[in-house]
Chain A
């Protein structure tokens, strides 16, 4: 399978701008989360003629801020499931936009969401082929494209 190249920054920036009213800045110098930082990751899988995944990872602080903006809620009203719902939907939109660029027939999974400290999300048989580290109000947002490798699985 040929490696796919997409403009992850443009996809994410459009989502953040339209859905949250926030600007995303590209090329953040510090592009990894600190081990002690709580991080939320939304993942959607793409299967079919092209196989892989899209992940959206950000700090819990930014995830809560995004939830408040999307749901018009104050921070103290927000439940953990609301944050998961929001980050899952951000990943779903990113994945849907990537899927729209693919040729052939593909299916998008429902999003799954993971949160915690110092963890790594990996999907067996895939590797990260593109990664975009972005900044939103001083918070790190990482959007990654994972692609199934030939012969895997």
Chain B
């Protein structure tokens, strides 16, 4: 199936000379949730803004639903809903009015039944006629989502939907995203919270300094994360692994004073008990044991360093 969003060699250099995007390639499949993870200033917002038409690319192409975002901007943009990072709403307007405006701007005929559905889904129906200035921060953010959904987009961009939002509200937001996915909307969200990517994304893209470092299935990433390493410190150094212990993924550390055993925490048997028994049988004296796990954060930090 062809991707719903396709980004090719996208470069954006701002007038100041700052290169925010350095040749980004990215394909997004219909119906998935992809999280773009990266530190502040990585280019996440520029990437989203370019796809949505707010920023003009310096070079490269972007298509949405097969339509070029520059030459066929009407067809492309009609498919897109954008929830910006900053809460930008007219304070004296009402959620209902502002949603009607959004729907109209995207070329859809007035349909109050649809807007009612969206506002109800986001628990805003009671507040539909309240002035936005009187709503709480979490509600305002949901109004932004409601605006983006009021024109029935097929692709929804959420730019840091939970930045500056407390833990409980963040969980609410994740629930909203889950519900949206269930309704078939493709979701691209940016975040610098790793837990957020873990919690809701199907795929994770890591972006830093205007480049995409990695795009991977979250399940695969999590499989890497599920791996743990057991380090066994030995009293007497070893040159090579005793033959009895071969063939079970053990490695000798370069200095010979330790053994590294990699295992899957989620496997039925980790093999730790057997290993320790065998070590004893082989007559190896252990001085210490420690385990470590690589987190998404470690992978991320490692990647960023590699590319620095």
- A and B associate: no
* Chain A interface residues toward B at CB < 8 A: none
Interface residues in chain B, defined as those with a beta carbon under 8 Å from any beta carbon in chain A: none
